[in-house]
Amino acid sequence: MIFVTVGAQMHFDRLVRAVDEWARERGRRDVFAQIGPAEYVPTFVEHTRLLEPPEFDRRYREANVIVAHAGTGSILQAMELSKPILVMPRRAKLRETRNDHQVATAERFQKRGVPVAWDEAELRAKLDGLDELVSDQRIGPHASPELVQRLRRFIADA
């Protein structure tokens, strides 16, 4: 199953529309999307606007692949569960977010091997290769001891 999530705060119609059209063209019935306060409502993909946390976690765990906005929480959860993830950042100039923090997040995680689609055309192309995606990055549920130590030093020096 492919689980698509765009968060709950703002619409991300570009991602939802691209996935919906791709799934229809490819006959993919194994896609479920959490679309948030979308203006575009999928016509092919099974979807809901919001999921309660337990249902969201269940779908994340059961998914073979995650397709998401470039939210840090979405990426880290996929890495914690060792789930392959494909992200596309929201763009401020398209009024999908207030600033381009997701572009910076996507750039940073792309350097760590997380696949990023920078626009709808690239998203559709990368969706065609989803079944071959694997996750080779697993993180723990807690911050590393090194990070905790650095934060303690930073706070002590402040």
Mean pLDDT score, 120-145: 79
Q: What class has domain 2-157?
A: alpha beta
* Contact by Cβ (8 Å): 50, 8: yes
Can you give the pTM of this predicted structure?
A: 0.87
- Output the six-digit token pair for 111: 């350097």
Three-class DSSP category at 87: strand
Work out the angle at residue 39's Cα, subtended by the Cα atoms of residues 27 and 54, and round it to the nearest 5 degrees: 75
* Cβ neighbours around 124 below 10 Å, total: 16
Tens of pLDDT, residue by residue over 70-107, are 999 999 999 999 999 999 999 989 888 889 999 999 99
Three-class DSSP category at 46: strand
- Among 2-16, 31-45, 115-129, 143-157, the range scoring the smallest mean pLDDT is 143-157
Three-class DSSP category at 31: strand
Tens of pLDDT, residue by residue over 1-49, are 999 999 888 889 999 999 999 999 999 999 999 999 999 999 999 999 9
- The residue among 150 and 67 whose pLDDT is bigger is 67
Would you place residue 136 in the very low, low, confident or very high pLDDT band (cuts 50, 70, 90)? Answer: low
* Contact by Cβ (8 Å): 50, 22: no
The pLDDT of residue 9 is: 82
* Contact by Cβ (8 Å): 1, 63: yes
What distance in Å separates the CA atoms of residue 24 and residue 7, rounded to the nearest whole number? 23
